[in-house]
Structure 1
Amino acid sequence: MVIPEVGNISTDGNGRSLVPIITGGLLSFTISNNADRAASQDLVAIAIDGSGTFSILSTLGTAAGTPQGFAFNFSATRNFNSTDYNFALRDSRSGELSFLTAVPNGTGFDLTGNGVKVTASTTAQPGITEELTLLGNTAEAIGLGGLVNPGTGNPFTIKIDATLHRESAFNNQVGFYLANRQGGIIDPLTGQVVAGLNGDRSTYLASVVNNAVFSGDVANNASGSMADSTVEVSSAIDLSNAVLLPFLVVDTNLAGVNTTTFENIYVATLGLNADNGTDHVRLLGDNVFGFEDLARGGDNDFDDIIVKVNSINVV
């Protein structure tokens, strides 16, 4: 792993903190104070050389409060190229940018502004979550490439350890389904793809309901674990090409999904959601998913249910 070198922080012509990354590599960002904004904010890095703007982690919106017991100490690791960067919070609703102040901290730098505090460090530990591109948009996922198929030819068991937090009046259910890296849904018992993204929307979402492998719910302003936390899968599954994709069922469970309109189930692949492709899932940081349960984005706070994945293993 390449350890990046951070240069001397200065101020650009617009009065914004300018952070030079002299040698590119992985930087880890840890949030310790949430932003004081109603909607969720993306922490973004803006490359001065014009190579792009990319999201690092997300804050929780405070429109209806935040889940009791949820600790704001999650992290995200991203790869940085060698160039200068501005850092800002980008409002998930308006897209407005609020630029942050950067100061060195000995092992990297701190970012502050709008109530948020984020510490960037050259000591990085990548998570198991990742972002895919499905139907032209970002889709959040858990990668399974780090797991090892026992190779016995017999079915084996995958176990997830995840903590759920909730701040919502709705009794939602969240979970994951098994897919390949192209978004094709995998039947865990046979290892075969049973629905693909290029097919019928209703067929795909019905397959999500029928092939959910992990799921759970939690009381409002409480925390808990996944009720369904283990699944037996076929030895034919290529784990290097397998992911877990998230879903959210609004104010009911999988048995209550409207299988005519599928308007009360949301997935990470935006084009499949009934409310015109609205985003309902985002990675707050590595291994931490935030869900928005209101149609068309609602208040965009992405803390109606939070799922923090602690580990996933073959057992």
Structure 2
Amino acid sequence: MTPSNDLIQSAQRTIRLEIEAIEGLLPRLDGEFTRACELILASKGRVVVLGMGKSGHIGRKIAATLASTGTTSFFVHPAEASHGDMGMITGDDVVLALSNSGTAAEIVTLLPLIKRLGIKLIGMTGNPQSLLALASDVHLDAGVDKEACPLSLAPTSSTTAALVLGDALAIALMEARGFTAEQFAFSHPGGALGRRLLLKVENVMHSGAALPQVAKGTSLRQALLEMSQKGLGMTAVTDPEGHLAGIFTDGDLRRALDRDLDIRQALIDEVMTVHGKTARPDMLAAEALKIMEDNKISALVVVDEADKPIGAFNLGDLLRAGVM
């Protein structure tokens, strides 16, 4: 049986080699990468990703990442393209072809047709002098010094580098397009991710009679009664015009007790947090959660355009909704 230390050392060597492969990409993010982004941004069509074998598996993931981040994309198997699936590709599209060697026969066979149709071609290879690289309008160099496989046979470092370069391309395009979290949500409507991204604050907040609120000048005792009745561990505090003046939470109560305040005589004005953080009803619940996490708070008041309280919710509401 192989000693456990040998297994761990093998794993560590693999990870180190793949880290080196990724770091090797950084100095190669040059004008060619910029031109690849510009080609795709200027395109009226889709990004069609091609790849054979392990490069095909990576290509499928890159196509999926592009599609979910605002760049319409799909994967076509090169062998199937030679038997009819080239009809899926139009002259408005951009082809992103992956091949570590740059000589995959199934892709090389398609090059004359891609050129004849005037389709822009981005090649991602590990060999800048390969047939694919030289035929490409733009070449992205994903080459690595060595595979993590000790036999240098199984694609390991090379596929990791290609995957990371594909992610870099997708995110650069996403940011260039100004792709929003809400747009991302519509590409991920199912499961927990869909709930996190599609649910809005108005879908989880307590409103109407369920909204805890008191006016400035209210006694602390009365405010505590309002909190107990509404069960959110907080209450909004409003000014005479109905605008949000502050928020009072369980945390504010603990701080008030530390001050030896006489809670029987105190007014809410003395202990509330002035105004406090707020949310808008059309805000994604996931965005509101980030506000709460960043500010280490457990509840938010929801205000309208006039800064008047219309709802409130806490972490428990987000938990029950599956947002966290």
Same fold by TM (over 0.5)? no
Greater helix share, structure number:
2
TM-score, L = length of structure 1 = 0.23
Q: Which of 1 and 2 has higher RCO (CA within 8 Å, sep 6+)? A: 1
Provide the TM-score with structure 2 as the length reference.
0.22
